[in-house]
């Protein structure tokens, strides 16, 4: 149903508008990754940071061709879909963080997305003001929100001006879920006028490894996301936290392979020099 709404909204737009949206999403992903490099490697100057990003994504041969290419960081649709929701969470004092592809791009290499994942500790008393404040610009069903809270599952909203889907997950009460909420980090996303809370890079890695395992280790995208975060963040990661929770979640073998740059079942490392980056 969420995808059908999204497709219907896209079909209402002209070819020019759809093309502009594609450029917008790509610009956001690239700008988010540039910010990831700046946070993880503050000792590098701007040119060195840009060179590192392009080398990690495209390799050294194309880097010199791309290093001076302009990157637009104007008004963007992803923040437009996120900020109204975040402001309500802040006003109602609801703990939350943004995960998924948005968080991955904020710590890693660019990856475009047309969806937003938010984890929010919502309660039944929050539903009425939440739906009331968002109903003008979002398709949001009050019954679905209540059901997600009762069953600790998820509900979907569509931001109608942009067509972006927002998936909200109500966390379970595992120790790991509480740890993720406590470790959420405030960052200013490209095109946003206020900081938002993102899952920590370590928690993004752990969740993507969990999804990779749940999907029988076949998702190229989940594995690439993990490798991208490891390569960009490097020694800025809290490895003791990663290893502790990987053991708790029975992901220790996968994490060890990821830190080596070796995909399970493959004899060749994804990135031969990664072993020297991450002890």
The answer to whether 70 touches 31, Cβ cutoff 8 Å, is: no
- Predicted local confidence at residue 178, as pLDDT: 95
Q: Are strands 115-120 and 164-169 parallel, antiparallel or unpaired?
A: parallel
Mean pLDDT, 10 residues at a time, the chain of 279 residues: 87 84 80 85 81 76 58 66 96 96 88 88 97 95 96 95 93 94 94 94 96 92 92 92 97 94 68 47
Full DSSP string of the chain: -HHHHHHHHHHTS-HHHHHHHHHHHHHHHHHHHHHHHHHH-TTS-HHHHHHHHHHHHH-HHHHHHHTT-----SS-HHHHHHHHHHHHHHHTT--EEEEHHHHHHHHSS----SEEEEEE---GGGHHHHHHHHTTTEE--HHHHHHHHHHT-EEEEEETTTTEEEEEE-----HHHHHHHHT-EEE--TT-SS-EEE--HHHHHHHHHHHHHHTTT--HHHHHHHHHHHHHHGGGS-HHHHHHHHHHTT-HHHHHHHHHT--TT-SS-SSTTHHHH--
Question: Nearest-5° angle of CA 200, CA 232, CA 22?
Answer: 85
The predicted pLDDT at position 20 comes to 81
Q: First-to-last CA distance in the chain?
A: 45
Strands 138-139 and 96-99: unpaired
Structure tokens at 15: 């070819």
Q: pLDDT at position 226, please?
A: 94
- Per-residue pLDDT at 276: 43
Q: What is the pLDDT of residue 187?
A: 94
Instruction: Read off φ and ψ for residue 195, nearest 5 degrees.
Output: -65, 155
How is 125-160 classified by DSSP, letter by letter? GGHHHHHHHHTTTEE--HHHHHHHHHHT-EEEEEET
Closest to 101 in 3D by CA, of 236, 222, 237 = 222
């Amino acid at each position: 149903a969420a995808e059908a709404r999204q497709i219907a909204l896209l079909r209402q737009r002209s070819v020019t508008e759809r093309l502009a949206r594609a450029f917008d999403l790509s610009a956001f992903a690239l700008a988010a990754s540039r910010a990831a490099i700046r946070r993880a490697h503050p000792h590098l100057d701007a040119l060195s940071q840009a060179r590192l990003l392009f080398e990690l994504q495209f390799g050294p041969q194309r880097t010199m061709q791309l290093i001076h290419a302009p990157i637009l960081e104007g008004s963007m649709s992803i923040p437009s879909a996120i900020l109204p929701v975040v402001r309500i969470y802040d006003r109602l004092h609801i703990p939350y963080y943004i995960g998924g592809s948005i968080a991955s791009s904020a710590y890693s290499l660019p990856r475009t997305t047309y969806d937003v994942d938010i984890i929010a500790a919502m309660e039944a008393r929050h539903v009425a003001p939440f739906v009331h404040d968002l109903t003008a610009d979002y398709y949001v069903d009050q019954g679905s929100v209540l059901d997600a809270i009762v069953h600790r599952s998820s509900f979907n909203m569509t931001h109608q001006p942009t067509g972006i889907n927002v998936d909200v997950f109500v966390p379970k009460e595992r120790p790991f879920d509480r740890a993720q909420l406590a470790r959420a980090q405030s960052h200013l996303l490209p095109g946003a006028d206020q900081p938002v809370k993102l899952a920590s890079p370590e928690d993004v890695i752990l969740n993507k490894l969990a999804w990779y395992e749940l999907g029988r280790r076949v998702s190229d995208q989940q594995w690439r996301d993990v490798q991208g975060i490891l390569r960009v963040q490097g020694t800025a990661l809290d490895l003791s936290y990663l290893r502790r929770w990987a053991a708790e979640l029975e992901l220790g073998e996968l994490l060890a392979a990821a830190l080596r740059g070796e995909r399970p079942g493959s004899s060749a490392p994804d990135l031969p020099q990664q072993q020297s980056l991450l002890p």
